[in-house]
Amino acid sequence: MNAAPQAAPALRVDGHGAAATVTLTGDWTLRALLPRLSVVQAALAEVHGVAVWDLDGVIRLDTFGATLLWRHWGRQRPARLQVPTILDENFVRLAALGGPSVPVAPPYRFLDATAHLGRLAIGFGRHLADFTALVGQILLDALHLLGDRQRWPWREMSANFYKVGVKAMPVTALVGFLIGVVLSYLSALQLRAFGADIYIVNILGLGIIRELGPVLVAVLVAGRSGSAMTAQLGVMRVTEEIDALATMGISRHVRLVLPKVVALFLAMPLLTLWCSAVAIVGGMVSAWLQLGIGFEYFLQALPRAVPFPNLVIGLSKGAAFGALIALVACHFGLRVKPNTESLAAHTTASVVTAITLVILTDAVFAIATRSIGVPG
């Protein structure tokens, strides 16, 4: 069957100024308007101050044609509009969509800042409540699984340990070595001026093992593994895989959250030890090149300059940072809504929040252990 022939759209103006009448005829559809769209738009642009719009001669009118006229009318119906009822439905739908497409911002009010602070406080309270509930649920699940080794997700833990631990070793080694070289080079410039070259062992040992090593690894892991965990859970939320697990009676906390927390809790101390060792090697090489301090003397002086409690503190920080990063990543991943915009926003918030909490936790560790492991 052949399609009905298209009648060319036409526009005729009778009269002048406020007494003018515009008569439309033909098909005002996308198919009919597209070949002569520029001509029709130019003709509409020349029409001003019209008293009557007569659309009784229009045969067909689709959304494209109605929108073309609607925009010319300033997104409102003319005062005198003659249009068949069946065609008027297009303008009724356009009017229901609202006025101008660009919303006008409301004027600033004095209490707007207070309302914004209130919304932030309420949002923070909800995050805190959900995060506390997540931690409590993980602890309850872990206690419940202590007596049943068969139900522990060993494969998931092993896979996560490999991804967050073993695969992160090259980048942590590279960054750690470069940080050790830079820290040793800058310290050597200052120590040489005072003739205190041998104290570079103390600076590198305490700075890297106790503070810089754990924090550096935590920042790298938060950006690398934390974002990946949030994105993984977010994609599972978007694709409704988490809902499918709940339908099958499988706990999302046991299968998805607990393996990530345990894996990062165990992998972070090892990554901290690895990164600190490589950073000290980088500092040792730089000290040998800058100050002429031999490797043998450096290794002999390091245990005396850095007591063993400093190593325990550094590894404890690594474990605490690892659990914190994993919990924050899972918290934001489970809050993702089923759309890509929410996924991107929560992934960014996860990394920023994890790094911020790592720095705050490090400050708490520094205050709590200020008198432990520091040579007198």
Q: How confident is the model at residue 92 (pLDDT cuts 50, 70, 90)?
A: confident
Dist CA 19 CA 201 (whole Å)? 95
Is the model more confident about 98 or about 34?
34
pLDDT single digits (tens) 57-69: 888 888 888 888 8
Integer angstrom CA distances of residue 145 from 141, 198, 267: 6, 52, 21
Average pLDDT over residues 171-181: 93
Number of other residues whose CB lies within 10 A of the CB of residue 228: 16
**pLDDT, greater one: 97 or 213:** 213
Comparing CA positions, the residue from 354, 323, 349 lying closest to residue 336 is 349
Sequence spans of domains, the chain = 10-96, 130-368
Q: Name the pLDDT band for 315 (thresholds 50, 70, 90).
A: very high
With 60 as the cut, is the pLDDT of residue 2 above it?
Answer: no
Band (129; pLDDT cuts 50, 70, 90): very high
Residue 3's pLDDT is 54
User: Which pLDDT belongs to residue 362?
Assistant: 93
pLDDT tens by residue, 329-362: 999 998 888 888 888 899 999 999 999 999 999 9
pLDDT exceeds 90 at position 290: no
Q: Is the pLDDT of residue 277 over 60?
A: yes
What are the contacts of 163-168 at 24+ separation with CB within 8 A?
163/225, 163/228, 163/263, 164/221, 164/225, 164/260, 164/263, 164/264, 164/267, 165/263, 165/266, 165/267, 165/270, 165/271, 168/220, 168/221, 168/224, 168/225, 168/267, 168/271
The answer to whether residues 314 and 277 touch, using CB atoms and an 8 Å cutoff, is no
Tell which CATH architecture fits domain 10-96: 2-Layer Sandwich (3.30)
Distance CA 256, CA 35 (A): 57
Find the mean pLDDT for residues 266-273: 94
